[in-house]
Amino acid sequence: MYKKILVAVDGSPTSDAALGEAMKLAAAGGELRIVHVVDEVTFNWDEHYSNPSEIFQALAKNGDRILRSAQEKVAREGRRCDTHLLEMDKTRRRVPEMIAHEAETWGADLIVLGAHGRRGVHHALLGSVAEGVARLASKPVLLVRGM
């Protein structure tokens, strides 16, 4: 049995499916931590943005909304969890590194992620957060295929 399960969410149906699987695994008494990474690095910061900090604040606010929604889903099942908004820091870790680091720091026994299943050009350009976490993490990773 997994005692500490970390699940990363992004508000997509695929991450909702991952949350559902993590909730099933935690039902036997495991702790559940839900994380969301605010990634401002993917934005092209140029002169069109008069105040980049406003955009980052909006991204953080959206991340909080995603975490609250996930927490409410867990609460509807009569369970508790904690949430953690991970913000890209000055070291410029990528999203997979942030998730793997959080799992290590928290002492997770398992990481649960949605796998969007991108192929071809989309995968080459965007990469895969799930693939990156699976490659970097020292913990077991459960990938849940999207709908």
55-91: per-residue pLDDT in tens? Answer: 778 888 999 999 999 999 999 999 999 999 998 765 5
Please name the residues in contact with 116: beta carbons below 8 A apart, sequence gap of 6 or more: 12, 14, 128, 130, 146
Averaged confidence pLDDT in the chain = 85
How many percent of the chain have pLDDT more than 90? 63
Query: Which range scores top for mean pLDDT: 10-14, 27-31, 109-113?
Result: 109-113
> What are the structural domains, with CATH classification, of the chain?
4-145 (3.40.50.620)
Tell me: the pLDDT tens digits for 112-125?
999 876 554 444 43
Strand order, beta sheet including 82-87: 82-87, 31-38, 4-8, 110-115, 141-145
Q: Which tokens go with 122?
A: 């989309």
Q: Are 36 and 63 in contact (CB under 8 A)?
A: yes
pLDDT of residue 116: 73
Q: Is the pLDDT of residue 34 over 80?
A: yes
Reported confidence tier of residue 127, pLDDT bands at 50, 70, 90: low
d(CA 98, CA 144): 19
CA quadruple 58, 10, 70, 19: dihedral, nearest 10: -170
Q: Which tokens go with 4?
A: 């500490």
Q: Which tokens go with 97?
A: 């590194």
Q: Is the pLDDT of residue 46 over 60?
A: no
Reported confidence tier of residue 110, pLDDT bands at 50, 70, 90: very high
Q: Is 21 exposed, middle or buried (0-12, 13-18, 19+ CB in 10 A)?
A: middle
pLDDT of residue 91: 58
d(CA 105, CA 38): 18
Token pair 């695994």 is found at: 25
